[in-house]
């Protein structure tokens, strides 16, 4: 029997140096796309995939991320007194079950693999999802729900993958692939940030994973990989051959919100999905682009 997927780890302890000075005193994951912080998109996507328990791996200056999911008593009282029902509904919709969010601290950001290892007590013996909040996926079926369905079918590790330009393999975790049915690919190897000439493919992992708990034992070796960081990719690579491992070409479009251009693209794409904003944004783009190009 495949164990149900109920837990998610959200690593949010990175320094966000590419967004300085915005991230000097604010967590990168609190930056909003349109009007919602990245962390909220990630939590909503996880809930839509059946996740019930969340672990934020945090660091210094990240308190607002946890605060964001607490009750804002005075604000809610004021909104009530002012009859602001629509705003109150927004806050009510994002309420999570009491006790469903825990945090662990990654005192020093030694890499994504180290961040996940920090959540080992939360993970225990259960399969778990990982969502990197700075990867935002616009999709009809939320990306993690697609992965969760693939996990149910295979009972093993599943990562969301997409083709990247061959010259960009040195930015991502890259798959070596076996059988490929066009949507699911069998993973036979994983390399973190290979130079284009060494890359086994141009299929890259994005920030959505469903993993078996055994990965923690491999991460516990604390081996340093690319960038002298403890890489999640290296820990995952050690599971290949011991348990099923697949890449899923998810349906949807990914925006790398850890990158300034990706972040701007996400603002536009998500605004264009909003009935209340799309006409004005479209008008602006039409005239602005005409003037600029
Ligand atoms: P990034 O590679 O985007 O790093 O991390 P970063 O520090 O957030 O941003 P830059 O590159 O300095 O601008 C990917 C994800 O992994 C988390 C980050 O918070 C982000 O969600 N992470 C990374 C950790 O939690 N701990 C780490 O040690 C490294």
Q: Ligand 1 center to residue 12 CA distance, Å?
A: 7
- pTM, two decimal places: 0.95
Q: What domains lie within the chain, and their CATH numbers? A: 7-258 (3.90.550.10), 260-293 (no CATH)
Please work out whether the CB of residue 28 comes within 6 Å of at least one atom of ligand 1: yes
Q: Ligand 1 center to residue 171 CA distance, Å?
A: 13
Alpha carbons within 13 A on the beta-carbon side of 30: 18
Q: How confident is the model at residue 20 (pLDDT cuts 50, 70, 90)?
A: very high
Q: What is the pLDDT of residues 121-167, one digit of tens each?
A: 999 999 999 999 999 999 999 999 999 999 999 999 999 999 999 99
Q: Ligand 1 center to residue 194 CA distance, Å?
A: 18
Q: What is the pLDDT of residues 57-115, one digit of tens each?
A: 999 888 999 999 999 999 999 999 999 999 999 999 999 999 999 999 999 999 999 99
Q: What is the pLDDT of residues 30-56, one digit of tens each?
A: 999 999 999 999 999 999 999 999 999
Please work out whether the CB of residue 113 comes within 6 Å of at least one atom of ligand 1: no
Does the pLDDT at position 293 exceed 80? no
For residue 11, give the ligand 1 atom closest to its CA: 25
Mutation pick for ligand 1 pocket among 11, 14, 130, 255 (CB with most ligand atoms within 8 Å): 14
- Closest by Cα among 283, 258, 257, 287 to 270: 257
pLDDT of 290? 79
Nearest CA to ligand 1 atom 8: 14
* Tokens encoding 270: 């998500």
Q: Ligand 1 center to residue 76 CA distance, Å?
A: 33
Strand, helix or coil at 219? helix
pLDDT of 17? 93
State how far the Cα of 232 lies from the Cα of 172, in Å rounded to an integer.
12
Q: Ligand 1 center to residue 16 CA distance, Å?
A: 6
Please work out whether the CB of residue 55 comes within 6 Å of at least one atom of ligand 1: no
Q: What is the pLDDT of residues 179-237, one digit of tens each?
A: 999 999 999 999 999 999 999 999 999 999 999 999 999 999 999 988 899 999 999 99
Alpha carbon 27 to its chain centroid, in Å, reads: 15
Does the pLDDT at position 271 exceed 90? yes
Q: What angle do CA 78, 26, 21 make, to 5 degrees?
A: 135
For residue 114, give the ligand 1 atom closest to its CA: 28
In DSSP terms, which residues pair with 254 in a beta bridge? 137
Mutation pick for ligand 1 pocket among 258, 259, 260, 263 (CB with most ligand atoms within 8 Å): 258
The helix (run of H) or strand (run of E) holding residue 120 is helix 120-123
Please work out whether the CB of residue 115 comes within 6 Å of at least one atom of ligand 1: yes
Taking all residues of the chain, what is their mean pLDDT, rounded to a whole number? 95
pLDDT of 292? 77
Q: Ligand 1 center to residue 244 CA distance, Å?
A: 27
pLDDT of 134? 95
């Amino acid at each position: 029997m495949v164990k149900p997927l109920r837990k998610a780890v959200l690593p949010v302890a990175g320094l966000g140096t590419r967004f300085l000075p915005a991230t000097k005193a604010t967590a990168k994951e609190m930056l909003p796309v349109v009007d919602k912080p990245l962390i909220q998109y990630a939590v909503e996507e996880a809930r839509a995939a059946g996740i019930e328990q969340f672990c934020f791996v945090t660091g210094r200056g990240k308190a607002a991320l946890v605060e964001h999911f607490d009750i804002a008593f005075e604000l809610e009282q004021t909104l009530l007194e002012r009859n602001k029902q629509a705003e109150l509904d927004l806050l009510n919709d994002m309420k999570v079950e009491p006790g469903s969010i825990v945090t662990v601290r990654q005192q020093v950001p030694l890499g994504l693999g180290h961040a996940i290892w920090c959540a080992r007590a939360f993970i225990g013996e259960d399969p778990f999802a990982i969502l990197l909040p700075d990867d935002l996926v616009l999709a009809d079926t939320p990306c993690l729900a697609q992965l969760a369905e693939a996990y149910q079918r295979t009972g093993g590790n599943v990562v969301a993958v997409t083709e990247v330009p061959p010259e960009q393999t040195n930015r991502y975790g890259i798959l070596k692939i076996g059988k490929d049915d066009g949507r699911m690919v069998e993973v036979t190897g994983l390399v973190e940030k290979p130079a284009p000439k060494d890359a086994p493919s141009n299929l890259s992992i994005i920030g959505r994973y469903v993993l078996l708990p055994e990965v923690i034992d491999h991460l516990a070796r604390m081996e340093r990989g690319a960038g002298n960081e403890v890489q999640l990719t290296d820990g995952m690579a050690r599971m290949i051959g011991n348990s099923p491992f697949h890449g899923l070409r998810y349906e949807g479009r990914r925006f790398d919100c850890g990158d300034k251009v990706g972040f701007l693209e996400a603002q536009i794409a998500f605004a264009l999905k909003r009935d209340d904003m799309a006409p004005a944004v479209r008008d602006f783009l039409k005239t602005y682009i005409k003037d600029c190009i």
